[in-house]
């Protein structure tokens, strides 16, 4: 069963790349305070994720902040080195916190896994966006298929 509006975000250890070094962080510490938009991608460097999903949040960062969003974060079932390289290639800077859910533990805890084995990806995250207020889910937008219609920054901005 997947997480729903009204649930509290699970407190799972994931990784980020801080100062060039992989660093363990707890999701509650990164996502549990203030207004947060968390979006998930099936994989860094994949076409839709790199061409549209992540860039939409980088481009719209100021608009999200103007709507009261304190943190924008992206999570993927990738390792922290891949996430760091992806962030550099996408010129993310400090606009989006990139979280590596290398073992898929957060993805599993929120119940939003997908089977990407047909593409050689194994178990990955579904594509979604989530709005959190002090760690509580106030909006959840899971893509119904392979497209990008409800979880890109433009769609999230319409819901804020």
Domains of the chain: 13-159 (3.40.30.10)
Q: Is the pLDDT of residue 107 over 70?
A: yes
The residues annotated with a catalytic role in the active site are 49
pLDDT tens by residue, 13-22: 999 987 778 9
What tens digit of pLDDT does each residue of 36-74 get?
999 999 989 988 888 899 999 999 999 999 999 999 999
Question: Per-residue pLDDT for 1 more than 80?
Answer: no
Q: Which candidate, 64, 98, 101, places its Cα nearest to that of 79?
A: 101
Q: What pTM value is reported for the model?
A: 0.94
CA distances 53 to 8, 28, 90, 124, Å, are: 25, 24, 11, 16
């Amino acid at each position: 069963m997947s997480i729903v509006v009204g649930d509290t975000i699970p407190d799972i250890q994931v990784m980020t790349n801080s100062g060039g070094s992989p660093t363990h962080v707890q999701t509650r510490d990164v996502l549990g305070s203030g207004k947060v938009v968390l979006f998930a991608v099936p994989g860094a460097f994949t076409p839709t994720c790199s061409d549209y999903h992540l860039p939409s949040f980088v481009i719209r960062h100021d608009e999200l902040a103007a709507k009261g969003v304190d943190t924008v974060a992206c999570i993927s079932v990738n390792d922290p080195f891949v996430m760091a390289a992806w962030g550099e290639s996408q010129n993310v800077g400090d606009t989006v916190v990139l979280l590596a859910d290398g073992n898929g533990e957060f993805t599993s805890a929120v119940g939003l896994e997908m089977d990407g084995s047909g593409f050689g990806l194994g178990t990955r995250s579904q594509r979604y966006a989530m709005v959190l207020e002090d760690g509580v889910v106030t909006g959840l937008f899971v893509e119904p298929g392979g497209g990008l219609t409800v979880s890109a920054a433009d769609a999230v901005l319409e819901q804020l």
